[in-house]
Structure 1
């Protein structure tokens, strides 16, 4: 459904449905919708996302890597985004350095089973195995914008 890191028609349809359901806040387990704005067209992009919880913090992880549209939008917006799960929550997403991502990626795979086919390290591997791929998968710490 994500050949070349891009969603096909079916994945886009499922993302729309998942975004609507996740935004209601009834799913739990870190399921949210993230809203970003395309800096050129000013169009809103809403996608389903599973928030990783690690070491007392929350993180947004790009399971499709550096080329994800939401990642590009967040970077262009200096980290500004909105997380929606029952209520709209303006947030700042601070990008985590690549050398600090490995344990967060491991925790993310334990919490987001749908991401497992996209990340080329098995969740049962030690944290050291995630270090080799950490630079390829953006991770952002979530902070309240207010």
Structure 2
């Protein structure tokens, strides 16, 4: 799986698959301390960028982000940005989840909903998967 993540990370960041929603999140591993890169889809809602863990709270990148105090690096659209991932409360997740299932078709089987999901279905899903707002980091860059 890690090998595929590396291939996907390269593909998302530099390859022909550089789609508007494609991004690579780089975060320090909670045990190794080494930078880990994970390909993700970004849900743009209003003026905000959001990341969703389709694999739930146990996903390695989610645990790494928690251990790093939310600090990470986001590679998107040819830019590298130091960011902080802020958890989004369940009662504010529905619009983000709606956009996420629209732009991340690979996540639909994991989440059990599709782009036509009702508000009620998305409210049931809210709070069961981590949703993060991407905000610019202030201060020193992660890992430096």
TM over 0.5: yes
- On the 8 A contact 1:29/1:111 being kept in 2, the answer is no
1:90-137 residue CA offsets vs partner (Å, 9 max, x unmatched) = 111111011211221111000111111111122202222111121111
Consecutive unaligned residues of structure 2, counting only runs of 5 or more, are 139-144
Q: In structure 2, which of residues 52, 55, 68 is the aligned counterpart of residue 61 of structure 1?
A: 52
Please state if 1:130 is matched with 2:117.
no
TM-score, structure 1 as length reference: 0.85
Structure 1 residue 56: deviation in Å? Answer: 2.0
Aligned length: 136
Q: In structure 2, which of residues 95, 120, 123 is the aligned counterpart of residue 103 of structure 1?
A: 95
Distance across 1 between alignment mates of 2:137 and 2:12: 21
Distance across 2 between alignment mates of 1:130 and 1:79: 25
1:1-33 residue CA offsets vs partner (Å, 9 max, x unmatched) = xxxxxxxx4xx4332211012222761221011
Who is 1:37 aligned against? 28
**What is the Cα-based RMSD across aligned positions, in Å?**
1.6
Distance across 2 between alignment mates of 1:22 and 1:119: 22
- On the 8 A contact 1:25/1:84 being kept in 2, the answer is no
SS of structure 1 residue aligned to 2:134:
strand
Please state if 1:16 is matched with 2:33.
no
- On the 8 A contact 2:30/2:63 being kept in 1, the answer is no
